[in-house]
Amino acid sequence: MEISIFKNPETTAKAFADHLCKKQHDVNRLNIGLSGGSTPKLLFEILVQKYSDKIDWSKLHFYWGDERCVPPTSGESTYGMTHEYLFQHLEIPEENIHRVLGENNPDKEAIRYSRLITENLPSINGLPQFDLIMLGLGEDGHTASIFPHQMELLTSKQICSVAEHPTSGQKRITLTGSVINNAKEVCFLVVGEAKAEKVNEIINITGHCELYPASYIKPTHGELIRFLDKAAAGKLQL
């Protein structure tokens, strides 16, 4: 596991953008799973401003680690946010964008999206393998849409499942912990003081994945990199 700590959210997002830029240089295709929430917005802005002509966007195939079950036009849609901050500013072939159809029936969509991933990605250890999965960390320790006390979503051998937000009850589609841990590389992007306590807990408290779902994420054969800013790493005991 690698932990990289940067001065502020901008330098953290810039480091992640650099990492992505280097990775795409060496390959013909990069299957990447994106995260949602507010943290990726800054990364997307930096990618648009500083990397639009440094990255060969036709090599990148975009999927999502999780999505809310809402139409793409909803303010809560992760695809909608990604389109607003990233896609609409770049020349990305439409066939490279593999969005979760949040407007569909959640159970049927989890099956459809699982099938799509299986068809498009190589299978390693009996599960699809992403080249890179980007993850965030919720203040409650969740990652993707796997919230505390949802162990079955971590260990399930399915590819995607329907999840439910613990307080709002909003339905979501999420990759399972098994698929995330089968990736070649998983990168957490976490910034801000509000995440500091959980960052320390998910790294240092072991054996309590039901309380800290993000602590379950340890790629079986791949790399784990945590991009943190100083504030998010503020309570980290190493």
Contact residues: ligand LXAUTJHC, CB under 6 A: 35-39, 66, 135-136, 138, 144-145
Q: Which is nearer to ligand LXAUTJHC, 127 or 187 (CB)?
A: 187
Locus of tokens 């980007």: 134
Q: Which is nearer to ligand LXAUTJHC, 25 or 165 (CB)?
A: 165
Closest contact distance (angstroms) between CB of 58 and ligand LXAUTJHC is 25
Measured from the CB of residue 145, what is the shortest distance to ligand LXAUTJHC in angstroms? 5
Nearest-CB residue to ligand LXAUTJHC?
Answer: 37
> Rounded to whole angstroms, how far apart are CA atoms 139 and 198?
7
CB of 142 to ligand LXAUTJHC, least distance (A): 7
Full strand arrangement of the beta sheet holding 185-190: 2-6, 223-229, 185-190, 132-135, 30-34, 60-64
C-alpha torsion sign, points 201, 139, 67, 224? negative
Nearer to ligand LXAUTJHC, 135 or 196 (CB): 135
Pairing of strands 2-6, 123-124: unpaired
Nearer to ligand LXAUTJHC, 67 or 131 (CB): 67
Within 8 A by CB and 6+ apart from 164, the residues are 147, 170, 171, 172
User: What is the Cα–Cα distance from 182 to 228, expressed in whole angstroms?
Assistant: 22
CB nearer to ligand LXAUTJHC: pick between 29 and 41? 41
Cβ-based neighbours of 192, under 8 Å, separated by 6 or more: 9, 229, 231, 232
Q: How far is the CB of 110 from ligand LXAUTJHC (least distance, A)?
A: 15
Of the two residues 128 and 136, which places its CB atom closer to ligand LXAUTJHC in the complex? 136
- What is the Cα Rg of the chain in Å? 16
- Collect all residues with Cβ–Cβ distance below 8 Å to 48 and sequence separation of at least 6: 85, 86, 89, 90
CB of 56 to ligand LXAUTJHC, least distance (A): 26
Give the shortest CB-87-to-ligand LXAUTJHC separation in angstroms: 17
Q: Which two tokens stand for residue 190?
A: 């976490």
